[in-house]
Amino acid sequence: MVLRKLFSKNSSSNSSSHHNKKDHHSDETSTTSSSHQFLSNINDLLFQSVESQYKKSVMETFVIPDDLLREIFGFIENDEETCLSFQLTCWNWYLVSCSYRYQEFEIPNYGTYTFYQGAKNCYYLILPSPTNNYSTYTVPRRKPWSWNDADIITRWYRLRINPETLMIHTGDHTFSKSTGVCNHHNWKTKEVSYATCFGCEGGSVDDGRAMCDLSGTPFKFSVSFLHNGYCSYGTWNFSKDDQIISLTGGGYCGWTCPVGAADEKQAVDGGWFIKLEVISNK
């Protein structure tokens, strides 16, 4: 009954929020409001209304809906003060969230490592240096597709990972943020896959940029790259025990991406193209 009340309240709040976004273009204020309301519902309904003998059972079984955690993530990921405030004012929410979200796996040649669980059985590697993890499409100055096009920069905060194989999915944008738009690939105009960059300025012009950085984790990259397209050119340089990769790519038009992407569509869409390995001295 308590859970039904919680989700009922939140569903109506979300429905209203989505309606406002669609019809009135509401800004992040509505997102903040609905997320605060959700946290308040948890605190009030789950942990103040539930009789003490049932609290442990509720805490062990309750899971915050994935779309709501993403909504919260969207405006507090880079705001440590707000994130800390949520933890302090709604400690029970924090504990319940952690019990589901942070899962330990045994990694060969390393030991136990904790990954973040998004949707059930979808795991993510948290990147300690998101400013050094980005992919881009550098729009050509002639703007052949739309005068509204602007360089796409996609910044990565967490990477989708298979904890059993340590394979990374380069096209899971659940925890990435992007600016810019390019209508070259009309099915994906606002994001660029991980470890990938595009350019279309001219033959052998590699003005696209990408960077991958696993610093602060015990992992390194085990991946090969290629450049492809018309008159394409690109480079990839590994450093810091293969934890950092700097890439360039472009052409008329061209791109640089992991070898696993067999064609342009796969480079745009991404896939399970990158393998990680444990650094022996970590």
> What is the per-residue pLDDT for 70?
58
For residue 72, which amino acid is it? Answer: I
Contact 195, 275 (CB under 8 A): no
Query: What is the structure's pLDDT at 197?
Result: 98
Task: Give the residue ranges of the chain where pLDDT is below 70.
Answer: 1-97, 281-282
**Cα angle vertex 147, ends 146, 149, to 5°?**
70
Tell me the C-alpha to C-alpha distance, in Å, between residue 89 and each of 57, 58, 103, 119.
22, 19, 24, 25
Question: Exposed, middle or buried, 8 (CB in 10 Å: 0-12/13-18/19+)?
Answer: exposed
Q: Quick one: pLDDT at residue 146?
A: 94
Amino acid 19: pLDDT: 40
Residue 96 has a pLDDT of 59
235 pairs with which residues across the strands? 248
Per-residue pLDDT, 68: 62
Q: Where are the domains of the chain?
A: 2-102, 125-278
The pLDDT, as a whole number, for residue 12 is: 40
Answer whether 149's CB lies under 8 Å from 200's CB.
Answer: no
